[in-house]
Structure 1
Amino acid sequence: RVRERQDLGAQAVATDKMLVAAISQASAARNAAAEQALRARASAIANQIRELDRTIVAQFPDYAALVTKTPIAIEDVQKQLRPNEAMVLFTTTSRATFVWMVTRSDVRWHAADLGERQLNEAVGALRCGLDAEAWLDKASTCPQKLGRKAPLGADEPLPFDQERAFALYQALLGPVAREIDGKELILVPSGPLATLPFQVLLTDKPTAGGDLTRAPWLVKRFATTVLPSVSSLKALRQVGRRSAASKPFLGVGNPTLDGDGRSDLSISRAKLARQIQTCAAIPTQASQVAQRSLRAVDALSGG
């Protein structure tokens, strides 16, 4: 049902775009019958979505409470927050990003001068400094995003843009730095920020020389949790239980994937993944990726 809901949402967006294109034509070129058909299709899809939403809420109320972005009063949010927690909500528009900070006793908001396009550029550039595979694709835009004329060398570490990581922290969290100091952060991102690991932002200006082991990473100051919506906090607090495990657990998935089957790069990577069952079987190119990744982890962890 969730997959059906997602598919209907995509159909609704596509139908809306076709309708806008149809009614934006010159009067002589417009087709009233076609426009009416698109309006009818959009209405039918909207009805299907409403009916499906009702079904999901009725049959899977806990799931619906977790993912549905229903309005919730600030006072209700504050009741769910613990004294050592601060929720930070980000809403991105084409011109700005609005940031709301809520604690048990305080509420603050500000507008960062970063629209969706600027955030896409900033987040994309930061991810180029984290994902070694992003440089393997011949069509990779990482060199352009980081102002490089050439791709990475075989033994060159990933170029993480510390200045940009600090600038993004300043714009988004700098104005509420005093309020969130010493708190555990509950982050509710949207748009491009949904793909950003906030832990790699820098809370202070990076030191000269770019030593990653000494960088003031956000993860060193704040424990963070990411939620899909503000209302999901209440749902999680209702069903969440404290772990009874006596020891911490780290699970690392290593599935053998087939890729999307459409591009040569995807097909070759999937084939490579099936061939590699031991470290000794890692070919040169994959080994370079693994080495870069390990160096990046080593640098981030301080050696």
Structure 2
Amino acid sequence: ENKFPDKAFRYAESMKARVFLDQLAEGLVNLEEGIKPELKTKRDGIENHLARLQKKIQEEAAKSKPDKERIASLKEERSGAEAELEAVKRNIRYENPRYASVKYPEPVTIEELQRRILNQDEVILEYFIAETGVYCFVVTPDKSEIIRLTDQVEADVNEWVEFLKTHQPLSAVKRTLAERLYAILIKPVEGYLQGKTVVIVPDGVLARLPFESLLVPAEEGMTFLVEKHRLKYVQSASILALIRTKYDREGLSDRFIGFGDPVYDYESFKAGSPEKGSDVEGGTKLAQLSRSGYLRSGGKLDRLMGSGKEVQEIVKLFGDKGQIGKPLLRIEATETYAKDKGMEDYGYIHFSTHGILDDKFQAIALSQIPGDAEDGFLTLGEIMNSRYHARLVVLSACQTGLGKMERGEGVVGLTRAVMYAGTPATVVSLWSVSDEGTKELMVRFYENILKKKMTKDEALREAKRSMRASEDYRHPYYWSAFVMYGE
């Protein structure tokens, strides 16, 4: 396991990039937007030339008496074309690093992480689920190690997450389960974590798991991991490197825009009647996905009445600090506005709406307006082709249960799309929390950023800890649903 650590690490990083590309293919995402036409034309021409050369080599080699000199000449020409293609790709990486990070991912190495990416007070825990078991790559500024943790962890993770979503009392059986997950995932690497910010790179089903909810044995009794360590998540170590080396942090706005309480039952809304919600099949894209088996049919997009109050409370916080806060509620919470060029003017973008984190399909559900040019679902591809030059995007009501989030890839895919759109940090909920509970945590989170000047990951951790200390919201159902990807 530790004989070729860097090679194994790069393989794990490449697999994470491959999963995301597969998600984009499933969603028919156009990645070509944003590339200079001349670079695209040159790249396409070289790739076509390479394909023709390869065909000629194969045809010559298949002859009963192949011409070895011609084959050698063709291979030499191919090598030149490959070098030319790499030069074009380097230009694309330079001109459009976000596009290149998806289309032509270059996995970061352990040495690069240690030399120029990691801060002295950080440790990366990159998990990788392989056929041979569950592994953890531990990387600090001066050490690295691969540790095999267990044969499999999926059943335990799913059982614990399903418990968290039910808001049931913590029984002895569930306590033992949370302790066991801690013993598997954290205890073997515990010696690296003291005094460090822990950067978690999940894999597969582990993206469903809020690590903060794991129970840590202590002399004075059990405590949750959120009390012991400051955690943040990244989709991959290569994404962390991209954020820290390529993202322009200059000129970011302090303005806030929030989408809340969308209209999902337009006819009832128009008539002034109680809204019953809309069928999942109401959206064209989702109807197709339901029929193809990607989503469970019969789901409803019910009204999120508390989400409007959540947005208004946050807008008030920004107003108190003399900053602009714009609420887009009810019929104004539209996909059209979410894709508008004016979104570039906001530093904080908040979606308090339904959302879908299916393993094969991800979208933010906005107002469903009959006859509108947009269908109301802001999809993975549409997010990626937007330009959100923001400090933070929050998806505060995202997991509705409409999708099959069995492996957790939807979480990573959606947050990665937001990153690609121009925002280095995304807060996402792993399941739907009560309106009041969500509002309470989000208000505390923004207060910590605006009034206490905390970093985003610190602000989220302290909001969770304060919720845990309260009588009404101490259950991890309320506070552990929210995780932050990026920084």
Q: TM-score, normalized by length of structure 2?
A: 0.36
Q: CA deviation at 1:73?
A: 2.0
Q: Which residue matches 1:202?
A: 215
Code of the residue aligned with 1:8 in structure 2: it is: A
Q: Which residue matches 1:128?
A: 162
Q: Greater strand share, 1 or 2?
A: 2
Q: Which residue matches 2:231?
A: 224
Measured in 1, the distance between the counterparts of 2:93 and 2:213 equals 36
Q: 1:6 aligns with which of 20, 23, 28?
A: 23
Q: 1:206 to 1:170 in 2, by over 3 A?
A: farther
Q: Which residue matches 1:266?
A: 299
DSSP-derived class of the 1:125 partner: helix
**CA deviation string 1:243-270 (max 9, x = no partner):** 9999xx9x89655565633557512xx2
Could you tell me the percent identity over the aligned residues?
A: 22
Q: 1:103 to 1:254 in 2, by over 3 A?
A: farther
**CA deviation string 1:171-190 (max 9, x = no partner):** 12212211111110111111
Code of the residue aligned with 2:236 in structure 1: it is: S
Q: TM-score, normalized by length of structure 1?
A: 0.55
Measured in 2, the distance between the counterparts of 1:108 and 1:126 equals 28
Measured in 1, the distance between the counterparts of 2:251 and 2:229 equals 21
Measured in 1, the distance between the counterparts of 2:229 and 2:250 equals 20
Measured in 2, the distance between the counterparts of 1:166 and 1:67 equals 40
The answer (yes or no) to whether the contact 2:261–2:306 under 8 Å persists in 1 is no
Q: CA deviation at 1:297?
A: 3.1
Code of the residue aligned with 2:109 in structure 1: it is: A
Q: Which residue matches 2:144?
A: 107
Q: Which residue matches 2:473?
A: 297
Q: Greater helix share, 1 or 2?
A: 1
The answer (yes or no) to whether the contact 2:262–2:304 under 8 Å persists in 1 is no
The answer (yes or no) to whether the contact 2:123–2:193 under 8 Å persists in 1 is yes
The answer (yes or no) to whether the contact 2:213–2:224 under 8 Å persists in 1 is yes
Code of the residue aligned with 1:113 in structure 2: it is: T
**CA deviation string 1:118-159 (max 9, x = no partner):** x22111111112213xxxxxxxxxxxxxxxxxxx9xxx5476
DSSP-derived class of the 1:129 partner: helix
The answer (yes or no) to whether the contact 1:88–1:101 under 8 Å persists in 2 is yes
Measured in 1, the distance between the counterparts of 2:160 and 2:103 equals 27
Q: 1:90 aligns with which of 119, 127, 130?
A: 127
Deviating more after overlay: 60-69 vs 120-129: 60-69
Measured in 1, the distance between the counterparts of 2:230 and 2:104 equals 25
**CA deviation string 1:185-211 (max 9, x = no partner):** 11111111111111111222698xxxx
DSSP-derived class of the 1:70 partner: coil
DSSP-derived class of the 1:164 partner: helix
Q: 2:194 aligns with which of 170, 181, 184?
A: 181
Q: 2:205 aligns with which of 192, 204, 228?
A: 192
Which runs of 5 or more residues in structure 2 are unaligned? 1-19, 29-88, 265-277, 282-289, 291-295, 310-432, 439-470, 480-487
**CA deviation string 1:57-86 (max 9, x = no partner):** 587423543797533221111121111100
Q: 1:278 to 1:185 in 2, by over 3 A?
A: closer
Greater relative contact order (Cα < 8 A, sep 6+): 1
The answer (yes or no) to whether the contact 2:149–2:184 under 8 Å persists in 1 is yes
Q: Which residue matches 2:351?
A: none
DSSP-derived class of the 2:280 partner: coil
Measured in 2, the distance between the counterparts of 1:4 and 1:105 equals 32
Taking only aligned residues, the RMSD between alpha carbons, in angstroms, comes to 4.5
Code of the residue aligned with 2:127 in structure 1: it is: F
